[in-house]
Structures are given as C-alpha cells and as structure tokens.
Copies of this chain bind each other. A is one copy, B any other.
Amino acid sequence: MEVDEWHAPRVLLTVDLVILTLRGSRLHVLLVRRGIEPYQGEMALPGGFLRDAEEGIAEAAHRELAEEAGLDAASLHLERSGVYDDPGRDPRDRVISVAYLAIAPRLPEPVAGTDAAGACWTPVDDVLTGHVKLAFDHRQIVEDGVERARAKLECSSLATAFCGETFTISDLQQVYEAVWGIRLDPRNFYRKVQQVQDFIIAAGPLRKTEHGRPARLFRAGPGRALHPSMLRPAAPVTEEGDDDER
C-alpha cells in the first residue's frame, strides 16, 4: 500500500448523455453544438461537469437530462454506459467522463425547452460512419452506447422505452429493426414477442393504421428481464476461418 493520498492527483468529472430515440424508422442521437472551447462550434453529446462535490454522478446525469434536453428524467430509462479516461481526451486537463445511456420515446419536436442552443437529433449512422464529426471521443461514446442498447434489447424490456404508453407489436418490431439495423420477419416476431413472460400486456382497443387491418394495442409489462430472450440473429457464418483446413 503506502499510498499517500495527499499527493494523489485529482481529476475533473463530466457526465455525457447518449440519448437515443426513433425518428421515422431510423435511430437518432441527441447532439448539441458546443458554445465554449475546446471544440467550440462543433457537435457533441449533451453533458457537463459535476455541479459540486456532493452531487452523485447519476444525479448529475438526471440534472443534465433536464437542463440540456428538456426531458423528464423520471419517465426515461437512464443507465450508466461507460467510463472514458484517456489522459489526453480533453486538451485542457485530466477529465474523466462517465457516459449515461437514455432512451426516449418518439418526440414531436427536436427538443422542447432545451437549454443548449442548436440541439438536434442526428441519425446514429451518420455519427458511426464519421459523416458527422463529434468533439472529444464522443463518437466512441455513441458507438458504445448503441452497442449497449443493441445488447439490452435481447435480454431486457428496453425496447418498450422507445415506445409511448401504448404501442402495437409492429411498433415494437420497428424498434428492434432500427436499433439492430436489420429486418425481421413480422410473423415470427409477432409470435415470439408474445411468448415472452410479462413483456407486453394487451391494452384495450385497436389502432387504426393507414393501410391494412387495425392492430391490437399493448402496454409495457412488469417484466424487466426477458424469458425467453429476444436473441439477435447470429452473424452469418463465413467460411474464411476454414482456410487452414484444406
């Protein structure tokens, strides 16, 4: 041991939010334009420093969610997603960032009551491909957050957090398709999702659709973990690994 904590370095702590939602049939992330240096004028994730030494990190995440995105933290799914600590990630100082993943249902406007000017929903594909550049290591933070969301769709009821109070099975399928970035068979999805215990429960009336037969409405059920789980299709097995077996 022999650690002398009086000489241990102190670091700054920020919270960054990866707020995901569906717009159209694509997954979007909320970005803000930075008003201060460094990276002034560039796009970045909403977030900021801890307010004071007594504020918990989760507490700060809730505060930033309300301040910067105008979203009611109580109604949103919010969970820690990752920690970013590369000593050179912020040119000013040693800054550690704790990322939080938030899932929002479809919202009519980019953001209502936003504190930061220039907040906007951006397709995650544009961020992941590098078409839209982000400040700091925020592209990596988005990538990790999206991957976490993808994984959690398999074994948790996270998908319902993308939907409103009630939704059809088709709505839910769109969530899975947008987040996973693949197409699913509607008939198999329909059967599968209803076999999961406590995932969705029937909620009264039908919803008229633009075309076709009206669909039943459902609400999120009490289950948090899915049994059986909604596994992603396995990546197609390529034969490239068998080269040395010829």
Chain B residues whose CB sits within 8 angstroms of the CB of A230 once the complex forms: none
The answer to whether B12 touches A5 (Cβ under 8 A) is yes
The answer to whether B12 touches A8 (Cβ under 8 A) is yes
The answer to whether B56 touches A87 (Cβ under 8 A) is yes
Tell me the residues in window 105-135 of chain A with beta carbons closer than 8 Å to chain B beta carbons: 115-116
In Å, the complex CA distance between A67 and B134 comes to 38
- Beyond A35-B1, A234-B227, is A53–B241 a contact (Cβ under 8 Å)? no
Interface of A is mostly: loop
The segment from A78-86, A157-165, A175-183, A203-211 that touches chain B is A78-86
Tell me the residues in window 1-35 of chain A with beta carbons closer than 8 Å to chain B beta carbons: 1-3, 5, 8-13, 32, 34-35
- Most chain B CB within a 10 A radius of its CB, from A10, A115, A227, A237: A10
Is A243 positioned at the interface, with any CB of B under 8 Å from its CB?
Answer: no
The answer to whether A1 touches B241 (Cβ under 8 A) is no
Contact of A34 among B1, B12, B80 (CB under 8 A): B1
